[in-house]
Amino acid sequence: MNWNDAMSYASGLSLGGHSGWRLPNKDELVGLYNSECKNLMNVRSVRYWSSTTTYNFSGERSGAWHVGFNLGDVLGSDKSSSYYYVCAVRDVQ
């Protein structure tokens, strides 16, 4: 889904009796990729959106970072791109 839909989906998610889900920021998503915890999650070797935006050459925040869970690479794409997935996180209460 595109970035705006991913942000809405994560924030509206109710899973395991919990709300308060969100897209992780770029650093959190890289941390998940590098963590052994990813083996406990149902993640695929695809690219996942982060909540961290990027700037284009005009200085507009039209892009966002995404992380590949096959190689751990971090790239930016236009927020309208619909090639990426959602890995929602929530803060522990």
Give a yes or no: residue 41 inside a domain: yes
Give a yes or no: residue 84 inside a domain: no
How many domains are there within the chain?
A: 1
Handedness of CA 13, 41, 2, 61 (dihedral sign): positive
Give a yes or no: residue 10 inside a domain: yes
Buried b (16+ CB within 10 A) or exposed e, 27-47: ebbbebbeeeeeeeeeeeeeb
pLDDT of residue 45: 87
Give a yes or no: residue 83 inside a domain: no
Helix (H) or strand (E) holding 68: strand 63-68
pLDDT of residue 26: 97
pLDDT tens by residue, the chain, 93 residues: 999 999 999 999 999 899 999 999 999 999 999 988 777 777 888 999 999 999 766 767 789 999 999 999 999 999 999 999 999 999 876
Name the residue range of residue 40's domain: 3-78
Closest CA to 69 of 24, 10, 37, 29: 29
Give a yes or no: residue 86 inside a domain: no
Q: What is the pTM of this model?
A: 0.87
> What 3-state class would DSSP assign to 35?
coil
